[in-house]
Amino acid sequence: MISPVFIIIFNFVAGTACLMFGVNLMSGGLEKANTRVMKSILTRFTDNVLSAFTVGTLITALVQSSTAVTVITVGFVNSGLMKLSQAVGIIYGANIGTTITAQLMSFKITDFALPILLIGLVISKLSTKQSIKNIGVAIIGFGFMFLGISILNWSVPYIKESRIAYELFKEYGTNPYIGLFIGMLATMLVHSSGATVGLTIVLFGSNLISFEAAMGLTLGDNIGTCITAQLASLGTSISARRTAWAHTVYNIIGVIAVLIFFSPFIFIVRYATSLLGQDEIRLVANAHTIFNILSAAVFLPLTKYYVRFMEFIIPEKRK
């Protein structure tokens, strides 16, 4: 007889792998299908902070990869095609646009994972146009994403039956600070906040962790995802490094603010979810979205001062 612990570990590894692969394939396919349009829009329609914010939101919603948009933005700043103030506006928007992935994962459509995979496969193989092929690849990624969530859900009954696993989740599954650290570390390792948010949705939806702990994991995801931009800025100009740090500091300040006002924030998320008539399963995705919307709402009017702050903490090197 196969050990329940082995099943839990196997499903966790397989499900997480499918989820990560799906998120990366989906964002990669959408990015390739829209690369030329994305780069053109980012350089042509970001004259001021508000337009940069709008473009950042829409482009990231289109390609579903805040990492890709942020890295490209760092590259544009490094080459002198974009100012720091424009880049900061794009970052605000990119953080909001990427939350659509979490919203999609919170819907109960995992039963359609295989049909979605089949549709994507047919499109990618039969189409003669490369952009349509890329859309097909994105759909395949979408299917893998939901397949990964399904596989993760297969472990839930075994976790609840396993005394060791159940006690572990009972002991640590209510602490938002432990969740914050785990979410940050996991996202840094896998370079995909979408994958770790998906895992959080599964754990919360299965009542294995509290909403407070799920909130901690989600906040950690927002910090962990900054590591890619930091790596992309290594060896670049001072402006590019400021852009990467603007992204990181922006998310850290947002997380600290939520931790200070944790109970009111939890209330806002619960109230908004109830107001929309949604199930509690949507709480994690809604928290992710609301966090980034509120962060942008606070920072947008203060962008001029935030840019000065970044220039102050990362000064030009004296010759």
- Tell me which residue of 176, 177, 184 sits closest to 224, measured CA to CA: 184
Residue pair 75/240 in contact (Cβ under 8 Å)? The answer is: yes
For residue 209, the SS3 value is: coil
Residue pair 64/100 in contact (Cβ under 8 Å)? The answer is: yes
Q: Which amino acid does the sequence have at 217?
A: L
Is residue 82 a part of any domain in this protein?
A: yes
Q: Low-confidence residues of the chain, pLDDT below 70?
A: 1-2, 4-5, 33-39, 43, 45-46, 110, 160, 162-168, 170-172, 318-319
Would you say the C-alpha torsion 57, 63, 27, 286 has a positive or negative sign?
A: positive
Range(s) of the domain holding residue 118 = 4-313
Is residue 261 a part of any domain in this protein?
A: yes
Would you say the C-alpha torsion 190, 227, 252, 68 has a positive or negative sign?
A: negative
Residue pair 200/39 in contact (Cβ under 8 Å)? The answer is: no
What length does the chain have?
A: 319
Domain count, the chain: 1
- Tell me which residue of 319, 20, 71 sits closest to 195, measured CA to CA: 20
Residue pair 194/98 in contact (Cβ under 8 Å)? The answer is: yes
pLDDT at position 173, please?
73
Structure token pair of residue 25: 């394939």
Is residue 48 a part of any domain in this protein?
A: yes
Is residue 318 a part of any domain in this protein?
A: no
Please enumerate in sequence order all residues whose Cβ is within 8 A of that of 146, keeping only pairs 6 or more positions apart, or say none.
Answer: 22, 105, 109, 110, 112, 113, 116
pLDDT at position 114, please?
85
How far apart are alpha carbons 284 and 270 in whole angstroms?
10
Is residue 248 a part of any domain in this protein?
A: yes
Nearest 5°: the CA angle 52, 62, 57 is 30
Q: What is the pLDDT of residues 122-160, one digit of tens each?
A: 988 888 888 788 888 888 888 888 888 888 878 777 776
Structure token pair of residue 18: 């499918």
Helix or strand holding residue 120 (H, E) = helix 113-126
For residue 226, the SS3 value is: coil
Is residue 319 a part of any domain in this protein?
A: no
Q: What is the pLDDT of residues 239-262, one digit of tens each?
A: 888 999 999 999 999 999 999 999
Phi, psi of 81, rounded to the nearest 5 degrees: -80, -10
For residue 45, the SS3 value is: coil
Residue pair 32/26 in contact (Cβ under 8 Å)? The answer is: no
How far apart are alpha carbons 133 and 131 in whole angstroms?
5
